[in-house]
Structure 1
Amino acid sequence: MNWFQNFMMGRHGLDQLGFALMITWFVLAMVGNFTTYLLVILALIPLAFCVFRMFSRNQYRRAKENDAFLKVWRPIPAWFRRVKNRLKGMKTHRYYKCPNCKNTLRVPKGKGKICITCPVCRTEFIKKT
């Protein structure tokens, strides 16, 4: 095991983009097993890129690639968390967008017609809850 640690010294290793490439490879290979073998062959592309990135010694370039990937990836789980939290509170709250700044506001349900003040831009608007 010591020889592997010495071999990997100074190499990039596995990061979030590499992990995503491995998952892509696995999904394409599994789907390809049940449909067409062309997908199995295409699945080798993300696997080869993942292996190349893991053994690369160009740390700066691989870190920039990972940062670009994370810039695209981070909003996706955040969006799912927002939707999950919104669905959790649908029985007790209503959600409105501020007409001025487009910020999402949560107000209690069942209060009738109320004046809503946006905490960001202080715009007041009237909505029925």
Structure 2
Amino acid sequence: MNRFRQFMSGRYGFDQFSQGLVILSLVISLIGTLTRSNILITVSYIPFIYAIYRILSKDINKRMKENYQYTMFINTVKGKFLKGKRNVTGTKTHKYYTCPKCKTTIRVPRGKGKICITCPKCRTEFIKRT
């Protein structure tokens, strides 16, 4: 175990981006196996090899920047997915509108008829039917 610790000292290690690359590699490999496509199986090695390169890399600053960009991308995708999910699941009791000025999402209770909605962010007022 000490030899492994000595070997990995000064190296970047495993992070979210490396984990994503390994999962991507496994998914491509699985699809290639199910479709019996040798090309996909061969292509699945590329993200896996890059993940190993990142794990063993000694350029820590560059790997941290890559991981930061990856996590920011994933967070925006997750945010959009969760926003869409919230809009779908909350439709029985509330309705969602976007402010025409600042594009903020505003939640309004359903069944109140025509109401004047005031944006909490920019104080713009607009009338909508709930």
TM-score after normalising by structure 2: 0.94
What do the CA deviations read for 1:92-129 (whole angstroms, capped 9, x no partner)? 00111111111111100000111100111111111111
- Map of 2:102 onto structure 1: 101
Do residues 24 (structure 1) and 24 (structure 2) align? yes
Distance in 2 (alpha carbons) for counterparts of 1:43 and 1:15: 19
Distance in 2 (alpha carbons) for counterparts of 1:32 and 1:88: 35
- Map of 2:14 onto structure 1: 14
- Map of 1:66 onto structure 2: 67
Distance in 1 (alpha carbons) for counterparts of 2:14 and 2:28: 20
Shift of 1:65: 1.3
TM-score after normalising by structure 1: 0.94
- Map of 1:2 onto structure 2: 2
Distance in 2 (alpha carbons) for counterparts of 1:114 and 1:40: 58
Q: Which runs of 5+ in 1 are unaligned?
A: none
Q: Which runs of 5+ in 2 are unaligned?
A: none
Do residues 113 (structure 1) and 99 (structure 2) align? no
- Map of 2:92 onto structure 1: 91
- Map of 1:57 onto structure 2: 58
Over 3 Å off, 4+ runs: none
What do the CA deviations read for 1:18-60 (whole angstroms, capped 9, x no partner)? 0110001000010000111100100110011000010111111
Distance in 1 (alpha carbons) for counterparts of 2:12 and 2:47: 17
Shift of 1:89: 1.3
RMSD, aligned CA: 1.1
Shift of 1:84: 2.2
Q: Which amino acid aligns with 1:34?
A: L
Q: Which amino acid aligns with 2:73?
A: V
Shift of 1:71: 2.4
Partner SS for 2:54: helix
